[in-house]
Chains A and B, each alone.
Chain A
Amino acid sequence: MNMLKKKKTDRQQSSQKAFQRSDVYGLLSLIYSQEPDESFIEKLNSGNSRLFFIKEGMWDEKFWTQSVKKICENLAVEYTRLFIGPKDHISPFESLYNFKKGDIRQIWGTATVEVKRIIESAGLSFRKDYGGIPDHISIELEFMQKLVKKEAELWNEQKNGSLLFKTIELEKKFIDEHLKVWIPGFCQKVIEAARYDFYRNVAELTGDFIVTEKEEVESLLSFF
C-alpha cells in the first residue's frame, strides 16, 4: 500500500507513533545532556514510569529507596566519571568513535563537521549560549527528536507527502551514517563501566532503541 494513500486513521496512528519515538529521543537526549535533578528523579521514581521500569526489570530497589538528594548526588558523580572524566572516561562525542583511515581522532573531528552540517542544513542552529560541540550524543538525539517530531506532524498533512518522504529519508541517513555507527559501541562501553543500574539501563535502552529505529525507518520507507 502506498503510504500516501493511507487512511486518515492510519496516518494518525503513524503520527502518534512518531510523536512517541520523538519523545524517546527527547528523554535520552535529556539524560545524556545533564545530570538528573531532583524533580526528574522524583518523577522517574513514581507512577507509570516506575512501574514501567520495574516491569522491564530495570529497577534496583535499593538504589531508588535512597533519599532523592543522595540519588542525585550519586548520579551526578557517576555522570561525571562516565562522560566527563577528568581522567579516563567514555567521551560522548561521535568524532572519537566514527572516523575513517587518515582522519585525526579528536574532538571536533570530521564527523563533527558532518553532523553540524546536517543539523544546520535541516534549518536548525545552535543556541548562542550552548557553546558546546555539535556531535555530543545528546545533541544528535535532540536532533532526531526534532526530526521525528516533524515527521509526526507531516503525517497529519496529506499534501506534504514528498516532504514526509524526505524527512524519513533524512532520519535514515542520520541513523545509518551517524547514530548506528557509534552509539551501540559507545553504549556497550557504558554498560561495562557503569557502577549504577541507572546508566547501565539507559545505555542498554539507547543501544536497543537505535537498532529498532533503524528497522523502523527502513520499514517506513519501504511503503513509499
Chain B
Amino acid sequence: MRLNRRNFLKLGMISGSLLSLNSLSRSEKLKGEIKIGDFSPETGKKRKAIPSACWQCVSRDGIICYVEDCRLVKIEGNPKLPRTNGKLCSRGQAGINQVYNPDRLIYPLKRVGKRGEGMWKRISWEKAIDELTSKLKEVLDSGHPEEIMLHYGRMKASSSKIIKDHFFTALGTGTIGNHTSICEGGKWSAQELVWGKHYDVNDATHTNMILNFGCNVFEAHTSHIPFAQRVIKAVVDRGVKMVTFDVRLSNTAAKSTEWMPIKSGTDGAVALAMCNVIMNKGLYDREFINTWTNVTSSQLKKHLKPYTPKWAEGISGVPAEKIKSLALEFARAKPGTTISYRGAVAHYNGNENERAIKMLDAICGYIDVKGGTCKAVGPSWKNSFKKPKTKTKKLKILDGFPGQAAYPTHHMSHYVLKMIKEGSHGRPKIYISYCYNPAYVNGECKENIDILKDEKLIPYLVVVDVAVSETADLADLILPDATYLERWDWEDMVSYDQIPEFYIRQPAVPPLGQSRDFKDVCCQIAKRLGLDLGFSSAEEFVRDACENTPGVKEAGGFEYMKKHGAWVDPKAKPLYRSFAKEIKPEDLKGTIVDEATGVVWKGKEGEDYTSTKDAYKKYVGQKIGNKVFKGFHPDKVNKSGKFEIYSNLLKKKGFSPMPTYIPIPEHQKMKQNELVLTTFKVAVQTHSRTQNCKWLTEIYHDNPAWINPKVAAKKGIKDGDRIKIKSDVGEITTRAKLTEGIIPGVIAISHHLGHWAYGEYASGEKTAEHVCEPDCDFKWWKEKGVHPNWIIPNSPDPINGQQRWMDTVVTVRKA
C-alpha cells in the first residue's frame, strides 16, 4: 500500500486548498445540497415509501407506494416479494387513479327517489350504520338469518376471513355468493375432481416446454405478473418452446414460439389426441400412472384409442401432423407443463377440456414436479381469534337450479339473480354486494338490471364499492369503501417458486373523504348487534396475525411487516411432489381405511367414504401398497387421494368417468352464416373495476369486434364498419376490426368496456346540464366501447356450473 490513513488525511488538506481555487470549482456539474432520505427525483420533495399489496386484479402483487405531501404519487413493484420480484403491470401502477378518481365515492348515500331513479341524499356513517343494523336486526329477529345475503366479487385472505368467516358467520347466514363461476370456477371444479384442492402453478422457471390452451398469460391470468415474467424468461432466456392454442392471436399467442389457431371449445379434443399419441408411442410415465393415478396404462390406451390426431384435426382444425409432433416433443421435454384458462374452460365442455389437459400432464409425469404443473404453495397465516361457532343457514340460490350442474363446487353466481327472480328457493331480504357489480359482469345485463331494480324481488339492496357501479345505481344504500391503497390485510396469494410468501397490505394514505374499509364497518355493525368478534378493526386483525404466525413473528411481527411488507423464510426449499410424502404411523391414529378407494380417513367404522357427506374434510391420506401417503388431498368433493383420471363421482352423475370430448350442442346446430362470439382480456384493464382509472382507459377505451376478413367479405363488411351482433338474448352495435388474427368461425370482443356507470372515464357519460368538463383537454377520447355481456346468455357447464362465455352463437350484419 502506497498511502496509509495518515497520508490520506494530509492529502485531504491539500485537496481542500486545491479545490478552493475558483478555476477548479467551476468544473463542478452538480448543484444543491445532499439531503439524506428518500427524495423524489422529479420534485425534490421528501417521499415516504410504504410497502403494501396490489388489488387491481386478483394476482395481488407486492407493491411499494410512494407518498409525497400526504399524497400517493407513485406505485412500483416490491422487490422483496419474490413472486412479484419488483415488477408491476400498468394496472398496478394506475392504482393511484382508484384513490383520486374525480368520481370516487366518498360519502354514504341513501336513495330517496324510486330505485334506479338517481335521487340520493348524503347520510352520515352513524345513520348509515344505524339503518343497516336495524334492517339486519329485523331479519335476524325473524329467525331467518339466511335471508341476509352477501355477494362479493373479490374478497381474499384476511378480508374473506373477517367479512365472511367472522362477521357473516356470526350473523348466522351462509347465503354468501362469490363470482368465481364467471371467472374460472369451472377450472377449479374440474381440478377438484382430478387432483383435489385447486390452483395449478406452472413452474415456468424450470420447465422445458409449455403447451398453452386458451390462456392469455402475458395480458391476464390470476397470477399475471408473477407468472408472465417467469414464462417470458423461460421463452426468451432459455429458448423454451411455448405453443399457444387460441381462436385469437392474443399478445400471448404472438409472443409464443407458435400460435396454433383452434376452433372454439375444441381444446379437449387436441389434448385427448396428444394423450393418444403419447400412450401409443410408449412415452408415458409408467410409474406415475400406475402408482398415483387410478387407471392403468392399458385402460388409458383403450379409452384414448378413438381420439386420433386425424379425428382431432376434424374437430379442432389443428393439423394431425402438428398434434402428433407436438405431443412427442412434449412427452420428451421432461419436464413440460400445460397452461389452461378460460379459452379452454368457459365452455359447455370446459370441465372435460380441463380434465383432458390435466391428463396430458399426468401421463407424462409432469404433475407437481420441478418444471411441471404443480400444486400451489401459499402462506398459512395464524390468527388468535376463533371463528364464531354460530350454525349458519343458507338459501339454496347459490348453485343454480337443482340438477343444473353436477358439481358446482365454486357456485353458479351468474344464476343467483335468476334464482331470486324464480323465487322457489327463497329470496334474500337484504342483498349486500361487495366489490361486485352483478348488473354489469354477468351475461344478460338487461335481465340483471330488471331483477335488481325490482323491490319485490330484492327488498333492500346495499352496495359497497369505491365508485358508483351499474349496480350501485340501483341500490338503496351505498357505502363508500376504502380502496386497497387505504386499508389493511394480510395476503396469501400462491408462490411461483413453490415457497410460502407472507405479505401484507397497509394503507399508503388514509381513506379519502369519509370512505371506510368495509371490514371495519363489519366490526362496527357487530358491536351494535352485540356480537363479539374478538377484534374491533382490520388493523387489529392483521397485527394479530403478524404476531402469531410462526416465522413472521420471529422476524419481528407487525413492525417488521409494516417496514418490509413481506417475509419469506430464507431457509425454505421449493415444495414439489407433496403427494408422495409418507404419513407416519403415529399420525394415523383414529383413522379407518376405505377399501373401495384406499382413502385413509377419520370416518366411523363401517362408514363409506365416497357416499358420506363431506367425508373429504376427514381425509388423512391415501393407502398405496402398505404405506399411507399424503396423496392428492381432496377438496369440496369425496374423491380419493389419487390423481383421478377415472372419476367415479362423474360416473355417478351420468357423465363419462374418463376425460372425453363433448361437442357443444349449439355449435353442432350452427347455420352457415352464424359465428361464435368469444370474449377476451387486454393487459391494461380488468373485467369491470379499472375503467375508472384514467391512465388505463386513456390507453384502452375502444373494443371493436375482431372478425376474419374472409368472413367479413362474405357479409359485405369492411374494416371500421358499424355492425350489429345478435344472439338469442339481445343485440349490440359495434364496429368491425378486420384481422387475420382471428379464425373464420369466431367473432371476438374484449369484455372490459361499455360501462354505463362507474364514473366519467368508464361510462363516457355526462349530463347536459353540467356543461363542459374542466379537463376537456385531458380526456381527449370520445369512445367508451361496447359491452358484449348484453347478448351473452347466463348458461352453465353442466358438470361444474362455469359460465359459458365462449359458446354464444350470433349472427353478424352491417348496421
**Chain A positions near chain B (C-beta within 8 angstroms):** 35, 73, 76-77, 79-81, 84-91, 96-97, 99, 104-109, 112-113, 116-117, 131-133, 185, 189, 192-193
Contacts and interface: CB of A to CB of B under 8 A. Distances in A.
Interface string B147-173: 000000000000000000000000000
A113 B69 contact: yes
A132 B102 contact: no
6 contacts: A104-B694, A106-B96, A106-B694, A131-B513, A133-B106, A133-B513
A77 B120 contact: yes
A108 B112 contact: no
A76 B771 contact: no
Contact of B775 (A81, A88, A105, A185): A105
B654 interface: no
A107 B104 contact: yes
A197 B420 CA distance: 44
A82 B741 CA distance: 47
Contacts of B121: 35, 73, 76-77, 80
Given A86-B468, A189-B771, A79 B122 contact: yes
A100 to B, nearest CB: 12
Interface string B109-121: 1001000001111
Interface stretch (B79-87, B213-221, B759-767): B759-767
Q: Is the interface of B mostly helix, strand, loop or mixed?
A: loop
Given A80-B121, A96-B775, A107-B512, 18 more contacts: A73-B112, A76-B122, A77-B120, A80-B120, A80-B122, A81-B120, A88-B767, A89-B770, A106-B102, A107-B100, A108-B71, A113-B69, A113-B71, A117-B69, A131-B510, A131-B511, A132-B513, A133-B512
Contact of A84 (B107, B119, B770): B107
A87 B473 contact: yes
Nearest to B110: A80
A86 B472 contact: yes
Contacts of A97: 774
Nearest to B511: A131
Contact of B774 (A35, A86, A87, A96): A96
B769 A193 contact: yes
Contacts of A85: 103, 105, 120, 468
A189 B770 contact: yes
A77 B513 contact: no
B464 interface: no
Contacts of A192: 769-771
B478 interface: yes
Interface string B502-544: 0000000011111000000000000000000000000000000
Nearest to A35: B122
A197 to B, nearest CB: 16
B210 interface: no
A180 to B, nearest CB: 15
A112 B112 CA distance: 32
Interface centre among B104, B112, B513 (most CB of A within 10 A): B513
Nearest to B772: A189
Contacts of A108: 70-72, 99-100, 512
A185 B770 CA distance: 12
Most chain A CB inside 10 Å of its own CB: which residue of B97, B106, B510: B106
A84 B124 CA distance: 13
A86 B512 contact: no
Contact of A109 (B100, B472, B478, B765): B100
B778 interface: yes
B778 A105 contact: yes
Nearest to A117: B69
A131 B514 contact: yes
A84 B120 contact: yes
A1 B225 CA distance: 71
B321 to A, nearest CB: 54
A185 B112 CA distance: 29
A73 B514 CA distance: 21
Nearest to A132: B513
Contact of B102 (A96, A117, A193): A96
B119 A77 contact: yes
A86 B249 CA distance: 39
A211 B548 CA distance: 61
A61 B502 CA distance: 65
Nearest to A188: B771
